[in-house]
Amino acid sequence: MPELPEVEVTKIELVPHIVGNTIKKIIIRDHRLRWPINYHALKKLENKKVISLSRRGKYIFINSEAGTAMIHLGMSGSLSVLDRNTIPEKHDHFDIQLENQKIVRFNDPRRFGCFEWAGKNPENHKLISHLGLEPLEKEFTGDYLYQVSRNRTTAVKALIMNASIVVGVGNIYANESLFMSGIHPKRMAKNIAKNRYISLSKSIKKILKKSIKDGGTTLRDFSFTYQEEKIGYFKQKLFTYDRENKKCKQCDGTIKRIVQLGRSTFYCINCQH
């Protein structure tokens, strides 16, 4: 599943192809994504110039003269920049046709992605308005995590994976950042001291930035696909995730696996408390 770093890399790679270009046509082949694609709303993009691309959580915002449209990659979505005459394949659900003879094509076998019109104030859209802070923005700090956790009896891992508090901390990143900070994933959020939250917020930023950097340098072209070998490469760098019963890379301890909220949690029995 594309996580925040993959979405950020996709956005970065799309910028030179889209920004400053005019959208000529929106072509929808299958409107049945997570929410039905509403061509009537999205055609407001037609004959409008793209001013910028931005990202909020795992949504890519296409900011045009007419307003903003947003794309979510869901579980298996990807965007590619192709020549206009490239024949569509199975699961190529929509194209954004540009005036420079290129198209931005969306492919999504599992159809959990979306393409939504968000108008002039995308922050007010119902899919966006409840979202918490961006982890890479300066507002996301240890102080913030400390403040929002004071009355929470939830486990710290659930706290940092709660999108209404901070967006984009997926399971891998939650596991790894807790390891980096030496915090046990089951520790109750309200019982963690401020200095440990400062460490945790820095770890979250660090691992997300590193992952964005890796994604940016390993991609050979401007189409993003979630390749197995890339996941394999990324996995070798992980300290806890998917390493049940393996030796900790930092001590003689063993990595243990438990389940929290239906998701696998991996942690070192010595390093995290």
H helix intervals, the chain: 4-18, 39-42, 142-149, 156-160, 171-181, 194-218, 228-235
Which segment (19-27, 71-79, 136-144, 263-271) binds Zn ion by CB under 5 A? 263-271
> What are the two backbone dihedrals, phi and then psi, of residue 55, each rounded to the nearest 5 degrees?
-135, 140
**Minimum distance of Zn ion from residue 250's CB (angstroms):** 4
Cβ burial, residue 262 (10 Å; 0-12/13-18/19+):
exposed
**Minimum distance of Zn ion from residue 258's CB (angstroms):** 16
Indicate the residue among 58 and 184 with the shorter CB distance to Zn ion: 184
Which segment (98-106, 121-129, 169-177, 260-268) binds Zn ion by CB under 5 A? 260-268
Interface positions, 82-141, toward Zn ion (CB under 5 A): none
Asked if 182 touches Zn ion (CB under 5 A), the answer is no
CB 1 within 8 A of CB 108: no
Q: Across-strand partners of 98?
A: 23
Indicate the residue among 222 and 266 with the shorter CB distance to Zn ion: 266
One residue of 129, 164, 191, 270 binding Zn ion per CB under 5 A: 270
d(CA 63, CA 50): 6
In 3D space, the residue among 107, 35, 108 whose CA is nearest the CA of residue 69 turns out to be 35
Asked if 169 touches Zn ion (CB under 5 A), the answer is no
d(CA 28, CA 99): 17
Total residues at the site for Zn ion (CB under 5 A)? 7
Indicate the residue among 191 and 270 with the shorter CB distance to Zn ion: 270
Q: Measure the CA angle with vertex 163, ends 158 and 165; round to 5°.
A: 80
Active site residues: 2-3, 58, 263
Interface positions, 238-257, toward Zn ion (CB under 5 A): 248, 250-251, 253
**Minimum distance of Zn ion from residue 251's CB (angstroms):** 4
> What are the two backbone dihedrals, phi and then psi, of residue 260, each rounded to the nearest 5 degrees?
-125, 125
Indicate the residue among 10 and 272 with the shorter CB distance to Zn ion: 272
| Binding footprint of Zn ion on the chain (CB under 5 A) | 248, 250-251, 253, 268, 270-271
